[in-house]
Amino acid sequence: MLRTMLSIRLFEQRVKQLYRAGEIVGAIHLYIGEEAIATGVSEALRRDDYVFSTHRGHGHLIAKGGDLKRMMAELMGKATGCSRGCGGSMHMFDPSIGFMGGNGIVGGGIPLALGAAFSAQYRGADSVAVAYFGDGGMYQGVLHESLNLAAKWKLPFIAVCENNRYAATTPVAKSAASHDFSTYAAPHGIPGVRVDGNDCLAVHKAAKQAVARARAGQGATLLDCETYRVEPHCGIIPDDRPQEERDEWGRIENDPIERSRRRLKITQPQFAKLRAEIESGLDEAVEFARQSPMPKIGSCDA
Amino acid sequence: MRKLTYIDAIVEAMHEEMARDESVYVIGEDVDIKGGVWKGTVGLLEKFGAKRVRGTPISEAAFTGLATGSAMTGLRPILEIMYMPFCYVAMDQFLNQMAKLPAMSGGQIKLPITIRAQAGAGTREAAQHSQSQEAIFLHIPGFKVVMPATVYDAKGLLKSAIRDDSPVLFIEDRNLYYEPEEVPEGEWLVPLGQADVARTGKDVSVVTLGFPRRKALAAAKQLEGTVDVEVIDARSLEPLDMDTIGASVMKTGRLLVVHEAPVRCGAGAEIVRRVVAEYFDYLDAEPRVLGGANLPLPFSPVLEDACLPQVNDIVNAVRQMA
Ligand SMILES: Cc1ncc(C[n+]2csc(CCOP(=O)(O)OP(=O)(O)O)c2C)c(N)n1
């Protein structure tokens, strides 16, 4: 899991550089600081399980086994991209590994995941479907409709709230009467679990239970993963979150990757080696993307 | 030949397609309760079971998204919208998700979804239950749109829609539901994208969308002896059969489009645009669109009728053009 988290982190740092350099354009939402969630969840998933992602989805795809080259190419709008240059950062797809797309609409992917869960149940497959969404997704009616249906029909549906405390610039405290979103599960009679979203083991443990439950035909689970986004919301939006709060979450002991490194007793030289391996893969990915052709006009006509 | 109603033709099409393909299922409000509010799902629950006939809570956004997600992962949903204006509740799921996922995925996602939308006007149910919305879905790339006006087409087009690999909006008119018409025995398909020449004539081409087909035929009958009207039922708006419409315009030089939606930005305006672009030299008169009034449909019967194109309006419009 450490490797996955670090891959996400370093991928995102590359994206940030390339975005600053103008090689990547568009709306880019970085996952830095939240890596433990996708990593812990995907560690509990199989290739034939489905993931429906959000606008902040690079990490979700990497954790699901996404190909860094094709992802980088997609970000540069190239024909070799994982959506053939038709989707970009928010709309990466790789159905071959069950990654069913990012989404530009807050909450938009939730009922789609519900549908994949329905489809698995219908076909008698034991796949499960994960819907990721931010705390912002909690305010969309469709989440509550979906939890109700998932509970009632006992669908293999796992709703994962990545509660990074902000929806763009709006803090949870300003939007929600209840701050513990795991309680939203109770009315539907499904488990709601609040977890430390910066601890990949804690996330993994909760996800494993949810997946086991879903596979066994016992239905849905809601996970509320507490985390913090390190970067500004999006490339273009200034960050005006309180400095003390950022400092507190930014402390090295709170970093999901560092926490994992310390727990695994990985030494700094070992860590540097791992890092170098991943960086060289990223060099290749960037080079692949740069060398790839632009899509032909008309190639996105579905 | 035998007699069949439009709604029974729809039921029959679904019976046949569900028997043919295990991945086809029906989802919507009350579809599993006594054959649904409109009797549009009669016998399906008994025949195919609760797994494939899914009555839902009143959660349009969730079950529309669910249908899309299930289509992304191998199923072929038939999504029933009890009254078409209710789909506004799920508009993100329709226009942002369903319409766009195939293209944004670079073609990796296919969405074989049939949306059975019950529409129509003139039933005194006021504006939130009566509105012609085809133009909205035509304007958003990503949907095929059909509007069957006969029993034969209801069955044949629905079967083609279910077998199609993209989202097809199948707009039903409740005014047509329960009147039997003669149809053949057995199975048939009507391909998407083919207009039907409902009546041949040489003076004026009247292209209709959905229910006004009947009114145009009645108008043509009244005009017999004075104006020889050709009535073309477009049947499918996307894809649109420009060949059939164009051939008619080449013959008559005169085009009138009739639909119940308001004229402003309506499907008729688009048909006229295409005829002007492709058949300009054949036109002998300014092409016209006759549509509904530009307002939310009023409840009061006198007001509602005045808002919809009637047989007399068609007669008058044709007379002015001929
Ligand atoms: C329906 C909808 N409304 C508004 C937006 C604009 N928007 C994009 S991201 C975002 C904040 C989302 O916050 P959250 O869901 O908590 O996810 P996070 O960005 O924190 O990961 C907003 C408001 C949108 N994309 N979709």
- The stretch B157-180 carries a mean pLDDT of 97
pLDDT in tens, A167-226: 988 899 888 888 899 999 999 999 999 999 999 999 999 999 999 999 999 999 999 999
CATH number, domain at B18? 3.40.50.970
Choose the mutation target among B73, B93, B110, B113 for the interface with A, i.e. most A CBs under 10 Å: B73
Q: Has residue B188 been placed in a domain?
A: no
Q: Which region, left, alpha or beta, applies to residue A232 given φ > 0 means left and ψ of -120 to 50 means alpha?
A: beta
Among protein residues, the one whose CA lies closest to atom 4 of ligand 1 = A106
Last residue of a domain, one of B157, B183, B209: B183
Q: What pLDDT was estimated at residue A302? A: 67
| Same domain? B178 vs B281 | no
Domains in chain B, number: 2
Q: Has residue B246 been placed in a domain?
A: yes
* Residue among B12, B17, B60, B260 flagged as catalytic: B60
- The stretch B31-50 carries a mean pLDDT of 95
Q: Measured between alpha carbons, how far is B267 from B239 in angstroms, rounded to an integer?
A: 12
| Same domain? B160 vs B48 | yes
- Strand B229-233 vs strand B196-199: parallel, antiparallel, or unpaired? antiparallel
Domain-wise residue ranges, chain A: 2-289
pLDDT at A236 over 70: no
Residue B61: which of A113, A118, A145 has the nearest Cβ? A145
Strand blocks (E) in A67-178: 129-134, 157-163, 166-167, 170-171
Radius of gyration of chain B from its Cα atoms, rounded to whole angstroms: 19
| Same domain? B77 vs B222 | no
Whether residue A108 contacts residue B93, with contact meaning beta carbons closer than 8 Å, is answered with yes
Task: Please give the distance, rounded to the nearest whole angstrom, from the Cα atom of residue A136 to the centre of ligand 1.
Answer: 6
| Same domain? B11 vs B116 | yes
Q: What pLDDT was estimated at residue A162? A: 98
CATH number, domain at B246? 3.40.50.920
pLDDT at B96 over 90: yes
Task: Please give the distance, rounded to the nearest whole angstrom, from the Cα atom of residue B240 to the centre of ligand 1.
Answer: 38
| Same domain? B138 vs B244 | no
pLDDT at A295 over 70: yes
pLDDT at B64 over 90: yes
Q: Has residue B191 been placed in a domain?
A: no
Q: Measured between alpha carbons, how far is A27 from A285 in angstroms, rounded to an integer?
A: 20
| Same domain? B97 vs B210 | no
Q: Please tell me the CATH superfamily of domain A2-289, with its number.
A: Thiamin diphosphate (ThDP)-binding fold, Pyr/PP domains (3.40.50.970)
Task: Please give the distance, rounded to the nearest whole angstrom, from the Cα atom of residue B195 to the centre of ligand 1.
Answer: 44
Ligand 1 pocket test, pick from A12, A90, A106 with the greatest ligand atom count within 8 Å of Cβ, gives A106
pLDDT in tens, A66-87: 999 999 999 999 999 999 999 9
Look up the domain containing B163 and give its range.
Answer: 2-183
Q: Measured between alpha carbons, how far is A149 from A284 in angstroms, rounded to an integer?
A: 44
| Same domain? B177 vs B254 | no
Q: What tokens does B159 get? A: 């079967």
Q: Measured between alpha carbons, how far is A283 from A291 in angstroms, rounded to an integer?
A: 12
| Same domain? B157 vs B234 | no
Neighbours of B254 (CB within 10 A): 24
Q: What single-letter amino acid sits at B218?
A: A
The overall average pLDDT reported for chain A is: 95
Q: Measured between alpha carbons, how far is A40 from A151 in angstroms, rounded to an integer?
A: 23
| Same domain? B98 vs B244 | no
Coarse DSSP helix, strand, coil percentages of chain B, rounded to the nearest 5 percent: 40, 20, 40
Last residue of a domain, one of B155, B183, B211: B183
| Same domain? B8 vs B146 | yes
Coarse DSSP helix, strand, coil percentages of chain A, rounded to the nearest 5 percent: 50, 10, 40
pLDDT at A286 over 70: yes
Q: Ligand 1 pocket, A171 CB below 6 A?
A: no
Q: What single-letter amino acid sits at B99?
A: A
Choose the mutation target among B104, B113, B164 for the interface with A, i.e. most A CBs under 10 Å: B104
Residue A240 or residue B157, greater confidence: B157
Neighbours of B310 (CB within 10 A): 17
- The stretch B156-170 carries a mean pLDDT of 98
